[in-house]
Amino acid sequence: MELIYNDKKLNAEIAKGPNGYRLIADGEELDLDIGRLESGAYSILIKGKTVKAYVGSDKESVFVQINGSVFEFHIPKEDSERRSDMDSASGDEAYAILPPMPSKVVKVLVNVGDKVSVGDGLIILESMKMENLVKSKVDAVVKEINFSDGDLVDTGKVIIQLEKPNGDNKG
């Protein structure tokens, strides 16, 4: 997989190691002991130091925030396609808008009942002082909005629920 950090692209691999996980990035090997603290939050022992990490993902990347730095791991295309196939099979995944990492809602751009098309802006989120516009990946109708401007949203929480324009929310 590809790791992006400070606009540098590195080849990276994560595998089970002797005492947890092993990260190999740009030829450097690091042993990691990872423990889950809560939804989206992990404790990582690396080089004898424990750090708290926040993890989020979308269909193409996994984002890891440690001490204010964000590491982006790109999922290989074949894994991304397999994930898309699973999403299509389950149906609901494309219609649930979740943050890729803990975020603050800057502005909700839609209202319940609005029709949206692929590429339409739904919400602006702020993570680590960077604003991100979340766009619709499907043609749909806004069914629910679960957060308001200024709210903090944890990873895994549905911010906006969409449904197919005919009201059928099954794939």
Over residues 94-141, the pLDDT tens digits come to 578 888 778 899 999 999 999 999 889 899 988 877 888 888 888 899
- pLDDT of residue 142 exceeding 60, the answer is yes
Look up the pTM and report it.
0.49
67 and 113 together in one domain: no
20 and 57 together in one domain: yes
| CB half-sphere exposure, 45, CA atoms < 13 A | 7
| pLDDT tier at 59, thresholds 50, 70, 90 | low
68 and 98 together in one domain: no
Euclidean distance between CA atoms 158 and 154, whole angstroms: 9
DSSP state of 110: -
* 171 within domain boundaries: no
CATH number at residue 154: 2.40.50.100
What order of strands is seen across the sheet that includes strand 115-116? 96-97, 160-163, 140-145, 115-116
Residue 89, pLDDT score = 31
Amino acid in position 33: D
The total number of structural domains in the chain stands at 2
> Do 12 and 3 meet the contact criterion of CB atoms below 8 Å apart?
yes
DSSP state of 77: H
Q: Look up residue 60 and give its two tokens.
A: 């193409």
Euclidean distance between CA atoms 36 and 21, whole angstroms: 13
64 and 121 together in one domain: no
57 and 97 together in one domain: no
Which residues, in sequence order, are CB contacts of 113 under 8 Å at separation 6+? 141, 142
* 67 within domain boundaries: yes
CATH number at residue 43: 3.30.700.30
Place of tokens 């149906």: 91
* 170 within domain boundaries: no
* Domain, as residue range, for 69: 2-74
59 and 29 together in one domain: yes
Pick the more confident residue, 114 or 12.
114
* 80 within domain boundaries: no
